[in-house]
């Protein structure tokens, strides 16, 4: 027997309600001079690597002119945040001094801020000296991939700067990733939660206000291949730490391996767009409020679909936000 439209609609609504999707927290993320509303709509953080050796676009935007043009394009496509980095953290990448990192990112930040005074810029660095210079140049956020671990001065610097802070989880150093012991599937999410909680405690103890902090599970950072999937599947558990979540899955190598299929060679970084959209959508449904992406426009299109699903799954929360 064929279903009528009303019966089919009721079936869909009940099916969505029965599916397990995250209840994202609604919060204002305190930055240096303003705040961003999180949880109502997914925000895109556009990736801008001002480096010669980043894994997916190294060298493409090393010059200040090319970097600024790319930054303005991402803003035009809807990026709420630009995440600008001057040192690659991929395995085998060459470490650079704080001064070289500053020389790469500060001119770009200054130029973009002059061109778009209302834009929000994040500096991707684990060095306190770079963070200070970038914020003084106009950055609103410090995104530390080490979770305040690699530079003992970073926590105090962020507290003094009174900027927004992204604490990301990294397991070991990039040079260790190929040789460090593998994790069981049931170990990954608890380890990330435990160590992110330590980073959060470290930041608060140094004087960083909790409302200025968001957390990033650090997909691909010290998690090899299949270890990333249980982390993504259980990411909602990280919301118990009381902070909003950022997810950076764009073009990650583990996506290239899975998308290639059994026995296939990993897809090159620039061919991982479809896999990125799938993983990014999953991350939003698992609780991410901000997604860090290389390709802003398609990511935002996927995010709008995921946001609509979350509204359908949690209609009460949607009404409260109006």
Confidence of residue 322 (pLDDT cuts 50, 70, 90): very low
Q: Are the CB atoms for 279 and 256 separated by under 8 Å?
A: no
Secondary structure string (H, E, C) spanning 186-205 = HHHHHHHHHHHHHHHHHHHH
What is the C-alpha separation between 248 and 291, in angstroms, rounded?
Answer: 6
Asked if residue 7 belongs to a domain, the reply is: no
In a domain, 88, yes or no: yes
Catalytic annotation on 65?
no
Q: CA 310, CA 257: separation in Å to the nearest integer?
A: 29
Q: Tens of pLDDT along 184-222?
A: 999 999 999 999 999 999 999 999 999 999 999 999 999
Strands (DSSP E) contained in the chain are 27-30, 35-38, 43-49, 81-85, 121-124, 141-144, 164-168, 213-216, 245-247, 288-293
Answer yes or no: 9 catalytic: no
pLDDT, tens digit (0-9, with 9 covering 90-100), for 266-298: 999 999 999 999 999 999 999 999 999 999 999
Q: Which of 127, 171, 272, 292 is catalytic?
A: 292
Predicted confidence band of residue 320 (pLDDT cuts 50, 70, 90) = very low
% of the chain exceeding 70 in pLDDT: 87
How many domains would you assign to the chain? 1
Q: Mean pLDDT, the chain, as a whole number?
A: 90
Parent domain of 263: 25-320
Q: Given the residues 9, 252, 297, 304, select the one marked as catalytic.
A: 252
Helix (H) / strand (E) element for 76: namely helix 64-76
β-strands 141-144, 164-168 pairing: parallel
Residue 2 forms part of a structural domain? no
Cβ neighbours, 10 Å, residue 268: 10
pLDDT on residue 56: 52
What pLDDT was estimated at residue 13?
53
Token digits of residue 143:
């995104």
Tell me which residue of 100, 105, 87 sits closest to 146, measured CA to CA.
87
Tokens representing 106 are 């500060």
Q: Are 78 and 119 in contact (CB under 8 A)?
A: no
pLDDT of residue 210: 98
Domain holding 98: CATH number? Answer: 3.20.20.20
Query: Which tens digits make up the pLDDT trace of 23-66?
Result: 898 999 999 999 999 999 999 999 999 987 444 554 455 568 88
- With respect to residue 267, please indicate whether it lies within any of the assigned structural domains: yes
Q: Is 151 in contact with 186 (CB distance < 8 Å)? A: no
β 35-38/43-49 pair status: unpaired
Is there a domain that residue 92 lies in? yes
Residue count of the chain = 322
Asked if the structure places residue 3 within a domain, the reply is: no
Is the residue at 260 inside a domain? yes
Q: Output the pTM of the full model.
A: 0.90
pLDDT of 319 > 60? The answer is no
d(CA 229, CA 218): 12
Which helix (H) or strand (E) segment is 50 a member of? Answer: none
């Amino acid at each position: 027997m064929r279903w009528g439209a009303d019966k089919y609609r009721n079936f869909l609504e009940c099916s969505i309600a029965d599916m397990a999707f995250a209840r994202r927290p609604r919060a204002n993320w305190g930055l240096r001079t303003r705040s961003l509303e999180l949880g109502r709509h997914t925000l895109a953080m556009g990736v801008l690597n001002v480096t010669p050796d980043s894994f997916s676009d190294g060298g493409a935007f090393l010059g200040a002119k090319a970097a600024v043009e790319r930054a303005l394009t991402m803003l035009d496509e809807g990026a709420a945040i630009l995440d600008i980095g001057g040192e690659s953290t991929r395995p085998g990448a060459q470490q650079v001094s704080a001064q070289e990192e500053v020389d790469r990112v500060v001119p770009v930040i200054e130029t973009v801020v002059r061109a778009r005074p209302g834009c929000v810029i994040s500096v991707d660095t684990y060095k306190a000296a770079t963070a200070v210079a970038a914020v003084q140049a106009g950055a609103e956020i410090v995104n530390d991939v080490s979770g305040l671990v690699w530079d003992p001065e970073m926590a105090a610097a962020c507290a003094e700067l009174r900027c927004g802070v992204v604490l990301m989880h990294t397991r070991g150093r990039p040079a260790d990733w190929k040789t460090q012991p593998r994790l069981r599937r049931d170990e990954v999410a608890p380890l990330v939660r435990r160590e992110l909680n330590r980073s959060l405690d470290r930041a608060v103890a140094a004087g960083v206000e909790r409302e200025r902090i968001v957390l990033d599970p650090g997909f691909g950072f010290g998690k090899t291949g299949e270890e990333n999937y249980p982390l993504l599947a259980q990411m909602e558990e990280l919301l118990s730490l009381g902070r909003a979540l950022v997810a950076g899955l764009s073009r990650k190598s583990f996506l290239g391996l899975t998308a290639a299929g059994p026995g296939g060679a990993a897809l090159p970084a620039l061919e991982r767009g479809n896999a990125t959209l799938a993983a990014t959508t999953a991350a939003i449904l698992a609780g991410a409020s901000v997604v860090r992406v290389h390709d802003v426009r398609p990511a935002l299109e996927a995010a709008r679909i995921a946001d609509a699903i979350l509204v359908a799954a949690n209609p009460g929360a949607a009404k409260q936000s109006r």
